[in-house]
């Protein structure tokens, strides 16, 4: 019997592809450059919440930054926080919320590091009103493999700031960063949910929304009169002073890798129907805690195990507004025709606040994100089809979520990629970069 491949030292959240590299923990800002020569090319990694291979290397050395998790300074008047790059957004919230502050931008999980948030220029439910994460980072330190330390800001070494925000960790190691937090008076969110059926109704809701946060869950399984139904979720930080206590630690961990048969079209269709109908009225208002509003999946640790040992693929794209409705309709129809299904699917509008990074993903348009279990070639064929549709409609896909786009697609989605080359650290590389450029970063 053939032996199964051992678990790699570091996995992405999608657990695909499975590549192995030497994992070197960093605990102090002075731990890099390494005292001993690295094994092959290097790449900084944080909490492993990128989905594809942007945080992976085959061979080489992964610089694990989670040990660099200290708060350095905080100004309660301005909300300016300086912290090490390995701290997670969850750890920042534990500090900031009891003091009346919140993150300026947060993705759908709080378990990403600050370094990863900058390197992937993450976005959140308030992109239309706040832009991407990099818009709220006044300054950070970048350390190159030759020991050069570069203070980067929009006005100081601005070209390095622009290359590193959204630069996928390839420009060097971010050791610390400053983040401008926003004030809050309560943990609570004023919530409104609006049920919709069809993209026309979603676009009407998105165009008329006035709240700071907006996102919609969309059913990617139903067809016929229920095609593209969903729930549009508005949110605002509550203005009535309330509790600012620290969140409790999650106690539930997904225990096992589910077998492939567990997540199928029928089980996901049943889930989607139940989720859509959990809201009985067309419109529902409530005051909810920020945890279930921003981080519904974080309540179950290691939830990616529900996709089984084969892992999952995430697809995330944005299509310009002028082609958004038609493009998203074609994508949703391609998904329903494939026989695959997803229950983790969200759609929202991106705004027109420019992202500060030359390789940042957000752009004005309609964004769709959804997960698929890996079912061998069926899954890969679908992702290839969705990428081709995105290209046809003038959109782009998100590097931090990708494990599949081709070099030709990437270079069309990100025409600045050649201008980015001079900023790549000559000792750094990633599996993603090799795949989408057909070259090793160290040859750039």
Does some domain include residue 290? yes
Average of per-residue pLDDT values in the chain: 94
Backbone angles phi, psi at 393, to 5 degrees: -100, 15
pLDDT tens, 83-140? 999 999 999 999 999 999 999 999 999 999 999 999 999 999 999 999 999 999 999 9
- What is the pLDDT, as a whole number, of residue 1? 43
Number of H helices, E strands in the chain: 12, 20
pTM: 0.95
DSSP letters along 192-239, please? EEEEEESHHHHHHHHHH--SSEEEEEE-SS--GGGTTEEEEEEEEE-S
Rounded to whole angstroms, the Cα distance separating 161 from 177 reads 11
The answer to whether the CB of 424 falls within 8 A of the CB of 418 is no
Domain membership flag for residue 11: no
**What distance in Å separates the CA atoms of residue 118 and residue 138, rounded to the nearest whole number?**
11
Does the residue 237 lie in any domain?
Answer: yes
CB 346, CB 366: distance < 8 Å: no
Would you call 152 helix, strand, or coil by DSSP? strand
Upstream peptide bond of 17 is cis (omega within 30 degrees of 0)? yes
Q: Are 49 and 11 in contact (CB under 8 A)?
A: no
Q: How far apart are CA 226 and CA 278, in angstroms?
A: 16
Best CA proximity match to 234, nearest among 214, 216, 217: 214
Give the pLDDT confidence of 264-282 residue by residue, as tens digits: 878 888 889 999 999 999 9
CATH code: domain of residue 333: 3.30.70.2520
In a domain, 311, yes or no: yes
Q: Determine the structural domain holding residue 201 and report its residue range.
A: 188-403
Higher-pLDDT residue of 39 and 347 is 347
How far apart are the C-alpha atoms of 441 and 419, rounded to whole Å? 13
User: Has residue 194 been placed in a domain?
Assistant: yes
242 inside domain: yes
Residue 124, domain member (yes or no): no
- Please state whether beta strands 213-218 and 229-237 pair in parallel, antiparallel, or not at all (unpaired): antiparallel
Q: 3-state DSSP: the chain helix, strand, coil percent, rounded to 5? A: 30, 25, 45
Q: Establish if 238 belongs to a structural domain.
A: yes
Say how many domains are in the chain: 1
In this predicted structure, the answer to whether residue 436 has a pLDDT above a threshold of 90 is: yes
**Residue 252 confidence (pLDDT):** 86
Spatial distance between the Cα atoms of 19 and 429, rounded to a whole number of angstroms: 14
């Amino acid at each position: 019997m053939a032996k199964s491949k051992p678990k790699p030292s570091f996995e992405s959240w999608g657990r695909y592809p499975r590549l192995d590299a030497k994992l070197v923990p960093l605990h102090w800002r002075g731990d890099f450059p390494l005292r001993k020569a690295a094994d092959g090319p290097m790449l900084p990694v944080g909490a492993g919440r990128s989905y594809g291979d942007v945080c992976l290397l085959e061979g080489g050395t992964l610089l694990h930054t989670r040990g660099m998790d200290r708060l350095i300074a905080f100004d309660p008047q301005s909300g300016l926080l300086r912290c090490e790059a390995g701290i997670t957004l969850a750890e920042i919230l534990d500090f900031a919320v009891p003091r009346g502050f919140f993150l300026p931008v947060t993705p759908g999980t709080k378990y990403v590091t600050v370094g990863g948030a900058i390197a992937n220029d993450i976005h959140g439910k308030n992109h239309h009103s706040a832009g991407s994460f990099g818009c709220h980072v006044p300054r950070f330190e970048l350390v190159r493999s030759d020991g050069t330390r570069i203070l980067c800001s929009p006005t100081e070494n601005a070209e390095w700031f622009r290359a590193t925000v959204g630069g996928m960790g390839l420009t060097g190691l971010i050791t610390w960063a400053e983040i401008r937090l926003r004030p809050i008076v309560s943990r609570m969110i004023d919530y409104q949910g609006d049920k919709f059926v069809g993209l026309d109704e979603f676009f009407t809701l998105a165009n008329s929304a006035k709240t700071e946060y907006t996102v919609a869950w969309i059913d990617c399984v139903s067809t016929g009169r229920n095609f593209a139904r969903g729930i549009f979720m508005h949110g605002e930080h509550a203005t009535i002073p309330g509790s600012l206590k620290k969140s409790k630690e999650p106690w539930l961990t997904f225990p096992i890798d589910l077998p492939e048969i567990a997540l199928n079209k029928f089980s996901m269709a049943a889930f989607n129907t139940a989720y859509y109908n959990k809201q009985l009225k067309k419109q529902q208002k409530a005051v909810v805690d920020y945890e279930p509003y921003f981080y519904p999946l974080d309540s179950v640790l290691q939830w990616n195990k529900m996709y089984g040992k084969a892992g999952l693929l995430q697809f995330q794209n944005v299509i310009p507004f002028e082609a958004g409705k038609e493009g998203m309709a074609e994508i949703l129809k391609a998904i329903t025709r494939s026989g695959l299904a997803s229950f983790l699917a969200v759609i929202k509008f991106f705004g027109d606040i420019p992202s500060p990074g030359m390789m940042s993903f957000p752009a004005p348009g309609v964004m769709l994100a959804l997960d698929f279990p890996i079912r061998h070639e069926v899954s890969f064929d679908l992702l290839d089809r969705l990428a081709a549709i995105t290209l046809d409609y003038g959109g782009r896909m998100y590097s931090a979520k990708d494990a599949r786009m081709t070099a030709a697609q990437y270079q069309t989605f990100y025409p600045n990629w050649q201008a980015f080359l001079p900023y790549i650290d000559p000792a750094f590389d990633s599996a993603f970069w090799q795949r989408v450029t057909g070259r090793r970063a160290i040859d750039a």
